[in-house]
Structure 1
Amino acid sequence: MGVATVITSGKGGVGKSTVTAGLGFALAARGRRVLLIDGDAGLGCLDHMLGVSEQQVFDIADVVSGRAEPMKAVYSCPFSERLFLLPAPAREDDVISPNIMKQLVSVLSRYYDHVLIDSPAGVGGGFASAAASAQRALIVTTPDPICVRNANKAHFLLDQAGIKQQRLIINRFSGHNFYTQGFYPDLDSVIDSAGVRLIAVIPEDTHLAAAASNCEPAPQKSVGAMALGRLAARLEGEHVPLAALQKF
């Protein structure tokens, strides 16, 4: 039975879907079968990032409505034989109810080592649906006050939903920008403001952004991909130290 992890942010534009895709690649590279579920009804992008948009016929709404069997709506990523995607509904109105999502993930997780659920931005119905079936949560933020405040809101709502195992990912970190902008004196202040224990710092990396846009995996030796690889190891219980932040 695979572990279901919701990846959320509380606010859009922090690179949450890029983190989801990159983490999926990293876990698959470790020999795990990984299913990504795109929960962003009407605005899903993981199909493009994983290179499956051209072959896509069905999505999660078709499964829920009975128009397609679950496995007919699950697509294998051409870049990794162990990475799969269940695409988001094409229409914004087709948000899956929390109860149905919980039942669906319970069934699908039998066939995968990890199920990563990419939550839509905000804390509305899509957020509730994405969180309903998860055993743990990764909250993605960038190190600026607005995003950190929304990460704290997401933390509070996840706690209310019963998800106690939460970890913080600080994404798009640039040491130069962080210390010159002066929003926070140090990373500990970011962590304290978010109210969530840190699990990873993903540095600003143009290779990750380009890979997402060009529907291809990022180079394995890029700083972002290596940070996601360390995150994958930590999720599987390995003790991996953070890289030296001054290098970013």
Structure 2
Amino acid sequence: MKIMICGKGGCGKSTLTILLARALAESGKKVLVIDADESNLCLHRLLGAHQPEIMMDAMGGRKGTREVLKQAADHEHEDDFFKQVMTLDNLPGECLAEADGIKLLVVGKIKEFGEGCACMIGGISKAVLARLQEKADEIVLIDAEAGLEHFGRQVDKNCDLVICVVDPNYESIQMAERARQIAAGAGVQTYFILNKVDGEVLEAMTAGLDRQRIIAAIPRNNEIFLQNLKGQPLTADMPQIAAACSFITSYRKPLSLNIKM
């Protein structure tokens, strides 16, 4: 299963990606985390892994990547980066890191002033997800860039599920509903994880969302806050994360989607 984790900047999507990855791995799943956020610098630290070679850099930077993506458009073409069928076992090894049995693939990062937009990074993510075929016991979690642009680039097209992380913020709630509408247009179901929740804000957060789509409400957690602040591996064990993982492992993609725009 491929799951896109998205949300407003600062909502905690990277934190939730790692906590979900750890819980899923502990339940016996093989987990690949794809860092598809061009601005996130520390996902590997939250996992406790080393920084692997960035995939776009390994392909020769923007110039080399442009040529590789052109060749990848020919589905008969194979190289070190794009096989006709990609699996968790044949991804480019130099672009992978691993910690506690969880693999990490970093797509690309913005590094220099004026180097251009992140569209090419989105192109790599889209090409990988279109080819990646996971087994029944394998789960791929994609930490998306903040906002909705990944939908515009059709990166989510080959995902089975979108999970939108929502923090106590009016814009975050509105973005979550917009994400649901856009994902529905691609035939992908969206569910919500509420983050940084306490009793005073829970009712206000749920009022603006379809409650049947809320799979977990994560309380504020000082341990996670301090680990994040120090760039340490996230290790908090929370029953709400376990509940979200239970939903994920039992989820079955519907044969058809009743689109409501």
Q: TM-score range by the shorter chain?
A: 0.7 to 0.9
Q: 1:191 aligns with which of 205, 209, 213?
A: 209
1:211 partnered with 2:227: yes
Q: Trace 1:2-21 onto structure 2 (pairs within 5 A).
A: 3-9=1-7, 11-21=8-18
Q: 1:57 aligns with which of 41, 53, 58?
A: 53
Runs of 5+ in structure 1 lacking a partner? 180-184, 239-248
Question: TM-score, normalized by length of structure 2?
Answer: 0.72
1:73 partnered with 2:89: no
Question: TM-score, normalized by length of structure 1?
Answer: 0.75
| Pair 190,50 (structure 1): closer, same or farther in 2 beyond 3 Å | same
Is the 2:162–2:190 contact (alpha carbons within 8 Å) kept by the matching residues of 1?
Answer: yes
| Distance of 2:104 and 2:29 partners within structure 1 | 14
Give the equivalent residue in structure 2 for 1:137. 162
| Distance of 2:124 and 2:146 partners within structure 1 | 20
| Distance of 2:140 and 2:152 partners within structure 1 | 16
1:31-61, Cα deviation, whole Å (9 max, x unpaired): 11100111111434312211334x5233356
SS at match of 1:219: coil
| Distance of 1:125 and 1:232 partners within structure 2 | 24
Is the 1:140–1:170 contact (alpha carbons within 8 Å) kept by the matching residues of 2?
Answer: yes
| Identical-residue share of aligned pairs (%) | 24
Instruction: Report the more deviating stretch, 96-105 or 43-52.
Output: 96-105
CA drift at 1:129 = 5.0
Aligned length: 218
| Distance of 2:5 and 2:198 partners within structure 1 | 22
| Equivalent residue letter for 2:94 | K
Give the equivalent residue in structure 1 for 2:108. 89
Q: 2:21 aligns with which of 1, 19, 24?
A: 24
SS at match of 1:90: coil
Is the 1:95–1:125 contact (alpha carbons within 8 Å) kept by the matching residues of 2?
Answer: no
Is the 1:37–1:88 contact (alpha carbons within 8 Å) kept by the matching residues of 2?
Answer: yes
| Equivalent residue letter for 1:226 | P
1:119-177, Cα deviation, whole Å (9 max, x unpaired): 111222576354132111101101332210111121222122221x211111110114x
Cα root mean square deviation, aligned:
2.8
CA drift at 1:100 = 4.9
1:230 partnered with 2:248: no
Runs of 5+ in structure 2 lacking a partner? 60-64, 69-78, 82-90, 111-115, 252-261
Is the 2:2–2:160 contact (alpha carbons within 8 Å) kept by the matching residues of 1?
Answer: yes
Give the equivalent residue in structure 2 for 1:245. none
| Distance of 1:99 and 1:90 partners within structure 2 | 13
| Equivalent residue letter for 2:177 | N
Structure number with bigger Rg: 2
Greater relative contact order (CA < 8 Å, ≥ 6 in sequence)? 2
